[in-house]
Amino acid sequence: MSESKFILKIRSLYNSFSKAEKKVADYIFENQNKIIYMSITEFAENCGVGETSIIRFCRRIGLKGYQEFKLLLARESVSPKENFHARIDDADDIEGIINNITAVNIEAIQNTSQILSKEALQKAVTAILHSDKVDIYGVGASAFTAGDAKYKFMRIGINCEFIGDPHLQCMSAVNLRSSSAAIGISFSGSTKDTVDALSLAKKAGAFTIAITNYEKSPITKYADAVLLSSAEETPLRSGALTSKIAQLQILDILYTAVALKMEDKAYKNLDKTAESVLTKIY
């Protein structure tokens, strides 16, 4: 099987690479199909170099950063149909599409439930219950998940705010206190805006919670509790429903655990908020 243009370009530059860059290139040659599912932290560890070396390598071959690198790799190593869904092939009819997508989404929920740390979840529940304010950060596809989190927690009376604008995220984060909590939602764990906001929240003294698919990713460095999802997504499928379902599974568990601990207070707030929008429904 002939190599892609992208891999051939890396080979053509190989002799000009530094020692660290050659380690990265060697790993790419042997594992290109695996890399598209790795965080930058995991990739760096597997190559035996630091994250900054990965970024330098990407720029060395003319790219802006790691995400662009993964995008190009996915374009050339993943079939076009896989970028719509991992288990769709040419033979799938409507019934096959329904069955395959349903199976993948169920699997994401089951795997997420298995990998979710009970200890981290308990810490997150306790922190939210004792917080005077909860910031929720998310951009891109994760912004929709973050918005749903705000809706859930607001209904039971938690003082929370979803912030999607990167500038407002930072401004809100620096004004949090030790009595506050912050939730950063990023499937990759490498979304710079969300990572930066959670970092500032932690520096301000808030209890920080990360919802991500990768245990070894930049956002986890700033999280007091890491809640892991388990779903596969290529860079070209970013924002796929499978990854959102896994995130929503975590949020539903977190929300329910908090609500049950609040007992009567949660029930009363649910009743009040439901009554407040009665006139909005025919």
pLDDT at 91: 58
pLDDT at 1: 45
The Cα 248–Cα 18 span in angstroms is: 43
Q: Does 129 score more than 90 pLDDT?
A: yes
Determine, yes or no, domain membership for 96.
no
Task: Give the residue among 189, 130, 191 at the shortest CA–CA distance from 164.
Answer: 191
Determine, yes or no, domain membership for 235.
yes
Contact, 216 vs 39, CB < 8 A? yes
pLDDT at 3: 67
Residues 58 and 177 grouped into a single domain: no
Q: What is the CATH number of the domain that holds 67?
A: 1.10.10.10
Determine, yes or no, domain membership for 183.
yes
pLDDT, tens only, 151-178? 999 999 999 999 999 999 999 999 999 9
Cα→Cα distances 101→84, 89, 144, 228, 252, Å: 11, 12, 21, 21, 21
Q: What is the mean pLDDT of the chain?
A: 89
Determine, yes or no, domain membership for 237.
yes
pLDDT, tens only, 257-268? 999 999 899 989
Contacts of 87 (CB under 8 A, 6+ apart): 100, 101, 103, 104
What pTM did the predictor assign?
Answer: 0.83
253: buried, middle or exposed (CB in 10 Å: 19+, 13-18, 0-12)?
middle
pLDDT at 81: 55
Residues 68 and 146 grouped into a single domain: no
- Using N-to-C axis directions, what is the helix angle for 40-47 and 51-60, rounded to 10°? 90
Determine, yes or no, domain membership for 89.
no
Number of separate domains in the chain: 2
Determine, yes or no, domain membership for 31.
yes
Q: Does 277 score more than 50 pLDDT?
A: yes
Determine, yes or no, domain membership for 85.
no
Residues 192 and 259 grouped into a single domain: yes
Residues 157 and 206 grouped into a single domain: yes
Residues 209 and 275 grouped into a single domain: yes
Question: For residue 173, how many C-alpha atoms fall within 13 Å in the half-sphere facing its CB?
Answer: 29
Quick one: residue 48, left, alpha or beta (phi over 0 = left, psi -120 to 50 = alpha)? Answer: left
Is residue 279 very low, low, confident or very high in pLDDT (cuts 50, 70, 90)?
confident
Structural tokens at position 44: 């760096």
Domain that holds residue 159: 116-280
Residues 168 and 255 grouped into a single domain: yes
Beta bridge partners of 162: 136
CA 84 from chain center: how many Å? Answer: 19
Residues 154 and 244 grouped into a single domain: yes
Q: Does 282 score more than 90 pLDDT?
A: no
Least reliable range by pLDDT among 75-79, 134-138, 186-190: 75-79
